Amino acid sequence: MRMSARTLSTAVFGVALLMFSTACGPKKIKDPAPPPVQPTGNTGRIGEPTAPTTPGARITTFTAEPRTIERGQSATLRWAIANATDMTIDQNLGAVTATGSRQVFPSQTTTYTLTAVGPTGQDARSVTVEVATGPPPPPPDGNRGARLNGTEVLTREAQDVYFDYDKAEFRDDARQALAHNAEVLKRIFAADPRFNVVIEGHCDERGSAEYNLGLGDRRASAAKEYLVQLGVPADRLTTISYGKERPQCTDADEACYQKNRRAHLGPGR
């Protein structure tokens, strides 16, 4: 179906009107807080000289988001600097441009100091990213009965999900197994709010160990995605790839290979 010139121009006009109204609307209702005083001239982008009429480097913002992270997670440093020729962040981050951001992965609580040097003055600011130590261990399990029950139900009722060679896509039998498993999981999770499940991805021994780790990872995460779509809560499922490291059987024939190409549900802890 083709759009006539007239409908097109009407649409363009409509979009322009919408943009205009949204751009102007809020201003009329309430004035925003005034921006921090900006020196005139440019803001010292790379390669451009700083305006000589406004000496004195100034750091307008320097933030870390989030301020507190877990080990292995990242925080983002953001900054804006005016009138500086030389801008560096310590902790080996080195020279930076006037405005920017950088992802950092500190392994312990770290203070980052941004130093900006201009023609006649300098400025420095610091932010600290707190790295939280691991969470405390969970309280002793007061409800072992229910937990054991979940494991039993899972072992008895959950079905392995089988795959074709070098594939992480589901066949019809795999979809049926997943639909069945979704119901089993919902039942277990409803009965025991602390029960978690690990989805293991496995491969047959023919591919390389390296690639199979990636393939098992894919099989496990595809199974997780499918279960979540069927209403299983994502936060109760974790995935792990065993590649070809934990075969069900070790014969070199297709019957055995098929047993090993699977996603398996096991109790989490």
Partner 1 sequence: MKTKLIAFISCIGAFAVGALLLGQQQTDISSTISKKGGLPAIAVPDFRGAGEAQALMNGFNATVWDELQNSGRLKMVAKTFYPLDVPQQPADFKPPTVAPPLKRGDPQRTVRNGPWLTDWAGPPVSSNYLAFGYTAVQDGRLVLAGWLFNVAQPDVTSAQVLGRRYFGSLDADGAKKVAREFAADILQQFGGISLSGTKIYFVSDRTGTKEIWSMDYDGSNQKAFTNYKSTTSMPAVSADGKMLAFSTYLKRPGENLALPQVVVHSTETGRRIQFYNPVAPTNATPEFTPDGKHILFASSLGEIPMQIFMADTNGGNLQRISHVNAIEVSPKVNPKSGNEIVFISSAAGTEQLWRMNINGVDRERLTPGDGYVANPAWSPDGTKVAFCWTRGFAPGNYNIFIMDVVSKELVQLTHGAGRNENPTWAPDGVHLVFCSRRSGTDQIYTMLTDGSNVQRLTTTGNNTQPVWAKAIN
CB of 105 to partner 1, least distance (A): 5
**Residue corresponding to tokens 């109760």:** 236
| Residues in 42-71 that interact with partner 1 by CB under 8 A | 70-71
CB-nearer residue toward partner 1: 58 or 262: 262
DSSP assignment of the chain: ----HHHHHHHHHHHHHHHHHHHHHHHHH-PPPPPPPPPSS----TTSPPPTTS-S-EEEEEEEESSEEETT--EEEEEEEES-SEEEETTTTEE--SEEEEEE--SS-EEEEEEEE-SS-EEEEEEEEEEEPPPPPPPP-S-HHHHHHHHHHHHHH---EE--TT--S--HHHHHHHHHHHHHHHHHHHH-TT--EEEEEE--SSS-HHHHHHHHHHHHHHHHHHHHHTT--GGGEEEEEEETSS-S---SSHHHHHHHSEEEEEE--
**Contact letters for partner 1, residues 229-258 (x by CB under 8 A):** ---------xxxxx--x-------------
Using rule CB under 8 A, residue 207 touches partner 1? yes
Stretch that binds partner 1, among 1-9, 56-64, 77-85, 205-213 (CB under 8 A): 205-213
CB of 68 to partner 1, least distance (A): 15
> Which tokens go with 92?
């080996």
How far is 185 from 188, CA to CA, in rounded Å?
5
CB-nearer residue toward partner 1: 75 or 185: 75
Using rule CB under 8 A, residue 265 touches partner 1? no
CB of 208 to partner 1, least distance (A): 3
CB of 1 to partner 1, least distance (A): 31
Using rule CB under 8 A, residue 269 touches partner 1? yes
Determine the longest span between alpha carbons in the chain, in angstroms.
80
**Contact letters for partner 1, residues 95-134 (x by CB under 8 A):** --------xxxxx-------------------------xx
How far is 261 from 128, CA to CA, in rounded Å?
47
Selected from 82, 87, 153, 215, the binder of partner 1 by CB under 8 A is 215
Selected from 90, 157, 160, 205, the binder of partner 1 by CB under 8 A is 205
CB of 135 to partner 1, least distance (A): 5
Selected from 56, 217, 258, 259, the binder of partner 1 by CB under 8 A is 217
Which residues lie near partner 1 (CB under 8 A)?
A: 70-74, 103-107, 133-135, 137, 165-166, 198, 205-211, 213-215, 217-218, 220-221, 224, 238-242, 245, 268-269
